[in-house]
Chains A and B, each alone.
Chain A
């Protein structure tokens, strides 16, 4: 296997460069570039549906607290194979782990959509065998329309959501409707607004406010966005990716750029709004590594996650939407109060799909790094 991988690197890199060029050429005019156009589509292994799973074992890598604590025990009890859970803090750390050597030892990885796309372009992912994942039928039809992987060829969405404005109803005079409310807040909210600092989300409000794609790699558009962000910096309290919810809760901030699942809507004074200019659609996905020697167990594991009783755990406990219709229905039936109290959970897949998927930009991603360094270094 490692022999074939060496020869596969080159074409993958060429394809990746090609995709970057293609994106640059169309100026990121929408989320139409689907990853499967460029995917090297490595041949799928022949998997044995009747393989003895008890002889296999599984290593997964996932964010801390992102799955039930007793998930390994549940799986072992049900299917007879042990599950080892490795933790990553960020997508970048997962990528470092998964791309460092020919065999990372990981069977199933949880990474965001654009990273799944990048892994696939490198030929590191096993094309999924839908016949081994009957629970795919539980997903919303929209779940296979995500532009980084149309048709779920190499990834299954685990959670999805969007980015918007999370705000204190008692501190804002009128509810935020536009990204400009964050970029250029009314005088009484100056110094009470935070934005995110992770590059793509730092650029998002400015790009959307200017009417550009969040996947643009056009220098002129990015320069305009930079000017807007530099202006916005003067009225910001801070850049914050992790504690913006607390800042709102304590009243330190009145309005923050936030991921829907991180907006503490359990506080009745806090609400979430999606600006009229539109926003993104992010998804965290499950992928099976090509190097896995336990692919049957990996598929069985993913199938188990898609069981509504398991998948609804995520929404119930971390307030993220899951792209699983059966799970969301189950939640609506069993925990109507939870959905009532947390409006973002009630967003429909159709609404979500109005958002633009973040796509891996290849070499052009350095432009976003530079943009975010320029914005945060300016005085």
Chain B
């Protein structure tokens, strides 16, 4: 019980008056508490994430087994295949698609989050529930719903021809735009939520101060609100970019399989080509790219977040 007490009031343990041995006991107690709190989660991650991941990544240096699996003969072939223009183009194309989606999500998500943060408390809750509401329905069903909406004889085309706006059904499905639309729809909430958290936290007095010092609302936004919400922007961008990059369902269903993303490529190596080593190598490449991105995000958010903390 005492250790929990200490956790709750972190300042208490550093009191300069405590003697040597009680202090040491306290430190030990705190370590035990940390272990008790962190242990299960970390243990779970190590056993069920790190170990399988390490196994998978070890495949990258072996040769493909004819029936799936690996033959334990080392080879560098998997890595040299990575720079094959065929796969490189898919990789770059995926980054482009994910980046466009992330940008669109930011442009759409920021005003939404901003507006929600300024709502009265009760409406805030309702708006936030509305944002996460789509997650209550299965992802696949929501993606298929887009097919029903956008297909040649689908609802949108029926409505448009019905009111006489168009004569021939538009080709709304199975192109790059549909893929971005689908990804944007799926991951927009992941942009709105961190942005909301960042904007909502801002001290309204800072805005008032800015206004008092003669800044117009636009200036206040650019110089005060936006920089201070930058950590939320970066988090939101990561939350959207990462799953977009790995998605393989949307290119297949909404893109009609006419173009593929790196997620499809990896999935196909495992489930169709029976080439686990190359699939693992592709996965490693994606992970490496994302780790670099994470470091960038951590660095950027330290730069912005640091100043934010000081000012707040």
Say yes or no: is A100 at the interface (Cβ < 8 Å to chain B): yes
Chain A residues with Cβ below 8 Å from B64 are 366
Chain A residues with Cβ below 8 Å from B171 are 191
Given that A252-B153, A373-B265 are contacting pairs, would A239 and B66 also be in contact in the complex, using a CB cutoff of 8 Å?
A: no
Q: Which of B64, B65, B260, B275 has the most CB of A within 10 A?
A: B260
Given that A13-B66, A379-B259 are contacting pairs, would A93 and B268 also be in contact in the complex, using a CB cutoff of 8 Å?
A: no
Say yes or no: is A74 at the interface (Cβ < 8 Å to chain B): no
Verify A369–B268 contact, CB threshold 8 A: yes
* A287 CB, min distance to chain B CBs, angstroms: 14
Verify A197–B89 contact, CB threshold 8 A: no
Say yes or no: is A233 at the interface (Cβ < 8 Å to chain B): yes
Verify B272–A95 contact, CB threshold 8 A: no
- Return the contact of A377 from the options B69, B89, B271 (Cβ within 8 A): B89
Chain B residues with Cβ below 8 Å from A233 are 258
* B297 CB, min distance to chain A CBs, angstroms: 29
In the complex, chain B residues 162-200 whose Cβ is within 8 Å of any chain A Cβ: 171, 173-174
Chain B residues with Cβ below 8 Å from A118 are 66-67
Chain A residues with Cβ below 8 Å from B272 are 92, 198-199, 369, 372
Given that A92-B68, A95-B68, A377-B89 are contacting pairs, would A236 and B258 also be in contact in the complex, using a CB cutoff of 8 Å?
A: yes
Q: Which of A13, A197, A373 has the most CB of B within 10 A?
A: A373
In the complex, chain A residues 32-60 whose Cβ is within 8 Å of any chain B Cβ: none
The contact string, 1 if C-beta is below 8 Å from chain B, for chain A 86-120, is 00001011011001100000000000000000110
Q: State the CA gap A92–B271 with chains docked (Å).
A: 6
Say yes or no: is A300 at the interface (Cβ < 8 Å to chain B): no
Verify A16–B66 contact, CB threshold 8 A: yes
Verify A96–B260 contact, CB threshold 8 A: no
Verify B260–A95 contact, CB threshold 8 A: no
Say yes or no: is B29 at the interface (Cβ < 8 Å to chain A): no
Chain A residues close to B by CB (< 8 Å)? 13, 16, 90, 92-93, 95-96, 99-100, 118-119, 122, 191-192, 194, 197-199, 233, 236-240, 250-252, 362-363, 365-366, 369-370, 372-374, 376-377, 379
Chain B residues close to A by CB (< 8 Å)? 64-69, 86-87, 89-90, 93, 151-153, 171, 173-174, 256-260, 264-265, 268, 270-275
